[in-house]
Structure formats: structure tokens, C-alpha cells
Structure 1
Amino acid sequence: MAALDATEIARLGQDLTPVGAEKAGNASGTIPAWDGGLHSPPAGYKPNEDYVDPYASEKPLYTVTAANMDQYKAELTPGYQAMLQKYPTYKMQVFPSHRTAALPQSEYDEIRKEAASVSLAGNGNGMLNYQSTSVPFPIPKTGLEAVYNHVVRYRAGGYHYYPTEMVVQANGKFTPVRRDVIAVMASAMGNPEPNRLYYYLGKVTSPESVAGSQNLVHEPIDQTTESRLAWTYNPGQRRVLRAPEISYDSPVATSEGLRTNDMIDMFNGSPDRYDWKLVGKKEMLVPYNTYKLASHSLKYTDIIQADHLNQDLIRYEPHRVWVVEATLKPGQRHIYAKRVFYIDEDSWAILAADLYDGRGELWRMQEAHSLQRYDVLSSIHVSDVSYDLQARRYIVSGLENEEKRAQFGIKANLKDFSTAALRRSGR
């Protein structure tokens, strides 16, 4: 539970990167040393246009299929193994590893500064002495510390984006659900309330059957003293209502039961229903530098297929990840009895997760499509997908290929996230 001591902090920027990852590469050479990451745009990049893929000319080193998966089994999560076994068309194209994650120097300075004081709250359900660092626990001692690094990772202060969600049926049919979302970290605002981590306001814009519904969330830092505050605007009733159900395993209203609220961003919200174990660090194959998938030249029909996404568009690389296991506490309720998360050591983003049902069987698997946004020095992923291995359906969230481009570093005030603002937006 304790903050880092001076000896541990001195390792940041030495044998460890400024965010706590191993600076050296691996023994086999498949994972390179971190050399500062991708901290400036490559040639040809223009603001407000698609990201230039710095690795577009690279060819896959190899492709993992059901026929050869045993050769790579040690680097595959149980979820990927299940997908390869279940769907003959599923494959994983593996490319050279590039450790592109990089943050602004001001973030590195804040990480080093706060590492000496931030600690977990008494029962782990929150943080003490947290101010604004994007990596509160650069040398994690517990599973919860690693997960909090994911929850508060750097997002350029705040962003306005237009994520699209699709529930894909077994035959490949889908209907896009479009949203207009603003999310801002409280530390980036001039007047945040006490004990606030971030503010979120999301509005469904289509299809017409659900357009106009909105959610507003004020997320606490320390959830031992205060639980999540959430409201919803119902366009049929034209009313703003408190919405305590926007948490834990309650389903996202538009997800047809395939996505719980705490699956958003791979994991979010209070961790108090689980016991968390830091299993250790492993070399795994994970989605990374998925610039091809982010292209606005793609249509959703190019990306979405029956059974799974178009795997020709997804790039996998070997990287070191922290493995964190969450097991449901005795007496607690959640549809997932166990969850295993795979957290990138460089960006602290959860890149994959395996979700188990009450019988101990693998039920769903998640993956997040990561890339380094070199214009704002943030590794916010472009989308994530959850495959239901029992129902042969899946849900993909966050795609923006046919939408307006996201805006980062936006400015906001507390009044922008008030219930009055929610009501006005509804009208």
C-alpha cells in the first residue's frame, strides 16, 4: 500500500523507463529496448488528417493460425487460443515490435514527483494523495496498483470524440450506434470538485430509435468515501434521472447484453468486488501500432465480418505485459467470476482480457487496438472488441472511420458537466 521510496524512484529513467517499464529489450531480441518512443510525427503527417503509419511498409514476420498455434502457445492468451480454435478464418499477423509509447516530459516529471506520495486507500478501493499523475504506481506491488495505472493513464487532458458501437450478429449483420462524447480528466480543469478523477458526457446521435439518450458521469478518485455519480437523460420522458446502475456488470443499454459498464475502456469503475493478484510480467502477442485500422479510408463494412473483425487490418506485436488476475470476492455478485487483464508495460493500457463465467469457463475475450498518437503523445486506443465465445456474437466499440476526427487537449469547465447542461443538451 505504501508509496515508492527514494531508491525505487531513482530507477525511473535509469534501468526503468520514466513510466516504470523495463528499458532493456528481451534476451531473444524480439522486443527492442525503449529509446524514447515515437514522440514526433513521421514525414507526411498533417494535422486533422489520418495518422501516417510509420510501419506501413513492413511485412508480417509470421501468421498465427489454428494449424500452428501450438508453436506460439506460450505467447497467446487463453482468449486468443479459443478464437483460433473456434473460427477457422481467425488469424493473427505478427509484425516486428516497436515500443512507440511516449508521454510529454511534464508527465514524466509529475510521475516522478507523485510516486513518493501516492498510495492505495486502506481497502484498495481508491487512491490517497493523488493529484494528476498518469502513472501513480510506476513500480506496482499489487494487481490493483497496475490496474489504477490503466485507469488514469495519460489522455492529453481531455478529448471530444465520436465513437461508434456495433453489435455483430452471427451472420455478420450490424447496426451502427453513434455517439458524441466528451471526457475530461479533473486535473485538466480549472475548477474540479474535490475527489474527482474525470468527467464524462456521452450522447447517442443515431439510430433514431435510441437517439437523444445521454449519460453523465462524475468519477471519484477515492471510492471508499464516495461512489460513482451518474445521471441519464431519457428523451422519451424528457427527464434527467440519477443512474446508479451505470456501473459494475449492468449492461450498456445499446449492447444487447454483450458489454457491461465496467468493460468500457477494457475496465473502469470501482474494483471493490474483486480480489486482485499481480501474477507477474510475460512476453505476449498483443495488438499494437494498429494505424491501418484507424484509417478513414475504411468503411465499417471493410472492418466488420461474421464471427470476428477483418484480421488483415489488425497488427500484433510481441510486448511485455503485466498479467493481473481479478477473482470475485466471496459474497459479491458479478456476471464474471474471474477476469485476467494483460497490461502493456509501456503505455499502461489494458490490451487484452479474458472473462470467465461462474462455472470457470472462458466466456468472453476482449482486445484493445492500440497506437501511439504522436501528435498529442498519448496511446489512447482507437477501438476495442469483445467476443462472446458462447453466443458467436461480438461487439466492437470506438470505431471512428466514418465519423469526424477526435479532438484532444480540449478545455472544459465544471458547468459543462452539470445536470443542467445535460438537460439543456437533451432539449
Structure 2
Amino acid sequence: MKTSILIKSAVLSLSLLASSVMAAVSQQEADQLGTTLTPMGAQKAGNADGSIPAWTGGLKTDAAPVQNGFLGDPFAAEKPLFVITASNAEQYKDKLSPGQLALFKRYPNSYRIPVYPSHRTFSAPQAVYDAVKKSATTTQLTNDGSSLANFSARYYAFPIPKTGVELIWNHETRYRGTNYYRTSAQAVPQVNGAYTMVAFNETFATPQNITDNDPAKTENILYYFKQEIIAPARLTGTVNLAYETIDQLKEPRQAWTYNAGQRRVRRAPEIAYDGPGTAADGMRTTDNTDIYNGSPDRYTWKLVGKKDMYIPYNSYRLWSPSVKYADMIKPGHINQDLTRYELHRVWEVEGTLKPTERHLYAKRHMYFDEDSWALVEVDHYDSRGQLWRVAEGHLANDYQNGVASYAAQTLYDLVAGRYVVLGLINESKQGTQYGQKFAISEFIPSALRNAGIR
């Protein structure tokens, strides 16, 4: 009997071990990357009628002129194929999200979706493609999907995903370029369209690109992010710093804030989950930044599948310094005449809040661009099951740096009739500055006081 128990225990242990490594795919599957699949894991072929083309390598680095860090529009001469409005939205509903359909009902006279020819523009450096292939065969889910193991490649944890939470990790671990610095802006318009711009200096770095990095000390750090408010005057000098971790159950996100009025640095555990977003008038949560960020542990993530969908894409016009914030920010929603939507394949994932957890959003319905793994649409539901907020990420692929970026991020509150738009750089003195040389001393809490001096 003892022998039988030992055998059964061994079988159970092996079974549990096997389940813990299921996230890593076989070498045979990984060999599809760059052949039948793109190097990122997307389906290389187009769709049957050609409305979604095949991926042929994405945009080249000289796709359009670049001035002072602002990317030119490779498709500036194109006109919309058609425009979806409240009057014809029913005709296209199979390729729209519930959130998009709700925006047509909320703003029937002004919300529209101009649909342009589809271009699969995403590309990344070869070093990133190499890392993706390594991730495919080594990265594993741990802690019920809430953290990663063997993630030494550092980018795109699951290029051939099998579960919903793996899509979340692909978005969170996507390549964001080499260390960068930028000035961005955010607005939270009133119902009548009145707004005050909030401006930020933002610094981003990954441990592997920091000059004096100690790998032994930063093994669990995904990236560092520092944000300083520089306008309006009443908020100037507030600085936030976050260490985003890979295993947030073992080592939760570390965050600090410097308050210029109090002149002190303090820990800021509220910079996580549904803590209030910075200077957003309660119109977004912390994890609404970057469309979604942070630990996925509070939700159960169901992989629904793939579908063709009209999503914000190649949004270079929204990035242009010739477009002023006053041109873009209007009552109810941004100026949709400045937007660009295309038909693309997306991965669909449904996140349901676990019964033991709490969050303002009881359900999140997410749509990920298959080529870049970036989130492009998210529908947020409240505890009563009502659609509450709709997020759109207006993608613009940075062909010089191989980064899928957002020209604008919007979050529409269907109940309040207000919204927040963030990540704008149009009126900055220069575009995002990649390739910055940062030392770890720039990302220690004690340095915040110097950064926040008025």
C-alpha cells in the first residue's frame, strides 16, 4: 500500500509539474515564427477577400520623413473607404465592439468611424524577433498565471498564446523601444468640452538598458517609469516613480510619490489596480494607463478567440504637430475626423473579477492587435453588469524604432458623458527621444525630491 501511495504521489507531482510548464510551446511550434506566422506570432496570411493583407515585413525605417522626432504619415494621401455612423452602424456590427456600438448610441450626431485601407505596418528590430522566439519555448506561467518564470528574453512572453492571461502578458511585456524620454499631455474635458491640459515629463527604462544595472538585483524588474507633472502650476512638481515587477505576488509593484507642497517622498501603494489615475479627476483608474497595466491576478481571463474588427490603426494624423489639442479635444469624445480605423484581426479576451477580489470594473472585454499584441479596444463593465467605460488605443507604429505606440489613449465614460485622453505629444517641443543613457541613480526614490523642485 505504501508503494502504491508513493507511485500515485509521484504521478500527481509529475502531473502538476507538467501543468506548470504548459505555457512554453514546443520547438516545432516555435519554428512557425517567421514562416507561417510572423516573427511576433501573428497569422502571416491575409484574409480570404484581401481586405486584410498579408504581412510582408511592416514599414521600413524610411517610410516617411521624420522631423524633430515626429513621424510623418506614410498614408497621408489616402481617403476613407467609407464612414460608419449611427445611421449605418447596424450594418457593420459584426466587426465592431459593444463599446463602439454604445458610443454611436451615446453620441449619434457626432461619433463616427472613418474606415481606411488596411496596412499591416508593425515591425520590430531583429533582436526583438530573436527574443520572441526564445520566449516561446522558455517562458512559463506561475501562480495561476499571475507571474512568469524563465522569462530571460524579456519581451513578448507568449507569442503563440493558448490562454487569455497569456494575451495580457504579451501586451504588458511588449517592446517599448530603448530607454526614452518624452513630454506628454492629458485632458479630462467637462461635458461642454472645457478642459485644462495636464503636462508630464516621462522617463522609461528597462534594467537591461541601464548603464550600471546589477542583474542579480533587477531580475524581477520589468521596467522603471518616472512621471513628473509640469503643468498646470497648481500640480507642478508632483513626481511619481514605479518599479514594474514580473512577479507582482512575490514582489508587488513598488511605487513612490513626491508631493511638492509637503516636500517629502512617500510610498504610494495606491498607484496600482483601481487606485485613481494621476490628475484624471476620477475618470480613470491606475490600471487604465497604457489601456491596461499591472498584475493580472484579480481577474479570470477567458480566451474567446480571433475576429476581424475595425480598430484604430496607423493613427499618424493624431500624432502630427500640425494638429493642435484644441482641434482634437471636443465635447463627448475626441474629433473623430482626425482618427483612422482599419480592418485587422484581433484576439478577444474576457476578464471577470474573481469572487474574492475587489475592483471598480467587474468585467473587462479586451481586443488585442494580432501583429503587435497591443490593446486597441477595452469595454469596462460595472458590478451590475452594465457597460460603463470604453477605451480606445489609437495605434501608430513607430517605423524608426520598431515600437507599437499610441498616438492617443481615450477612455469614455458612457454614464458621465465625459472622457479622458492621454499620451498626447502633438504640442511638445520634440517627439519621443529613444536611446537615452540612464543610470540606476535616476530611478531611486531619494532622487524624486530633486526632480520635483519647482
TM-score scaled to structure 1, two decimals?
A: 0.98
Question: 1:114: which partner in 2?
Answer: 135
**Which deviations, in whole Å up to 9, do the C-alpha atoms of 1:104-137 show, x marking residues without a partner?**
1111111112321111113211111112442110
Deviation at 1:69, TM superposition (A): 0.6
Gaps of 5+ in 1: none
Q: State percent identity of aligned pairs.
A: 48
Gaps of 5+ in 2: 1-21
Residue 198 of structure 2: which of 150, 164, 177 is its match? 177
CA 1:49–1:273 in 2, change beyond 3 Å: closer, same or farther? closer
Residue 29 of structure 1: which of 32, 47, 50 is its match? 50
Could you say what secondary structure the match of 2:137 adopts? coil
Report if the CA contact (8 A) 1:199-1:417 is conserved.
Answer: yes
Report if the CA contact (8 A) 1:179-1:205 is conserved.
Answer: yes
Deviation at 1:49, TM superposition (A): 4.8
Question: 1:406: which partner in 2?
Answer: 432
Deviation at 1:242, TM superposition (A): 0.4
What aligned pairs does 1:406-425 form with structure 2 within 5 A after superposition?
Answer: 406-425=432-451
Residue 401 of structure 2: which of 376, 379, 385 is its match? 376
How many angstroms apart in 1 are the aligned matches of 2:70 and 2:290?
Answer: 22
The one-letter code of the counterpart of 2:376 is: L
Deviation at 1:187, TM superposition (A): 2.6
Structure 1 window deviating more from structure 2 (186-195 vs 168-177): it is: 186-195
Report if the CA contact (8 A) 2:23-2:162 is conserved.
Answer: no
Could you say what secondary structure the match of 1:22 adopts? coil
Could you say what secondary structure the match of 2:66 adopts? coil
> Would you say 1:393 and 2:415 are equivalent positions?
no
> Would you say 1:349 and 2:374 are equivalent positions?
yes
Report if the CA contact (8 A) 2:118-2:343 is conserved.
Answer: yes
How many angstroms apart in 2 are the aligned matches of 1:186 and 1:354?
Answer: 33
Count the aligned residue pairs: 426
Deviation at 1:309, TM superposition (A): 0.6
Report if the CA contact (8 A) 1:187-1:197 is conserved.
Answer: no
How many angstroms apart in 2 are the aligned matches of 1:72 and 1:308?
Answer: 21
Report if the CA contact (8 A) 1:131-1:187 is conserved.
Answer: no
**Which deviations, in whole Å up to 9, do the C-alpha atoms of 1:143-176 show, x marking residues without a partner?**
1111111111111122111110100111000000
Question: 2:86: which partner in 1?
Answer: 66
TM-score scaled to structure 2, two decimals?
A: 0.92
Could you say what secondary structure the match of 1:292 adopts? helix
Q: CA RMSD in A?
A: 1.1
Residue 316 of structure 1: which of 320, 330, 341 is its match? 341
Report if the CA contact (8 A) 2:69-2:432 is conserved.
Answer: no
Higher helix share: 2
How many angstroms apart in 2 are the aligned matches of 1:171 and 1:257?
Answer: 18
Report if the CA contact (8 A) 2:135-2:158 is conserved.
Answer: no
4+ long deviations beyond 3 Å: none
Structure 1 window deviating more from structure 2 (225-234 vs 123-132): it is: 123-132
How many angstroms apart in 2 are the aligned matches of 1:198 and 1:205?
Answer: 23
Could you say what secondary structure the match of 2:397 adopts? coil
Question: 2:75: which partner in 1?
Answer: 55
Could you say what secondary structure the match of 2:145 adopts? coil
How many angstroms apart in 1 are the aligned matches of 2:324 and 2:72?
Answer: 18
What aligned pairs does 1:24-423 form with structure 2 within 5 A after superposition?
Answer: 24-43=45-64, 45-87=65-107, 88-190=109-211, 191-192=213-214, 193-404=218-429, 405-423=431-449
- Structure 1 or 2, whichever has the larger Rg, is 2
How many angstroms apart in 2 are the aligned matches of 1:298 and 1:162?
Answer: 16
Residue 20 of structure 1: which of 11, 19, 41 is its match? 41
Report if the CA contact (8 A) 2:69-2:433 is conserved.
Answer: no
How many angstroms apart in 1 are the aligned matches of 2:69 and 2:148?
Answer: 38
The one-letter code of the counterpart of 1:403 is: S
Report if the CA contact (8 A) 2:136-2:158 is conserved.
Answer: yes
**Which deviations, in whole Å up to 9, do the C-alpha atoms of 1:283-341 show, x marking residues without a partner?**
00000000111110121110011111111110000000101111000021000000011
How many angstroms apart in 2 are the aligned matches of 1:2 and 1:372?
Answer: 28
Report if the CA contact (8 A) 2:315-2:394 is conserved.
Answer: yes
Deviation at 1:60, TM superposition (A): 0.6
Could you say what secondary structure the match of 1:97 adopts? coil
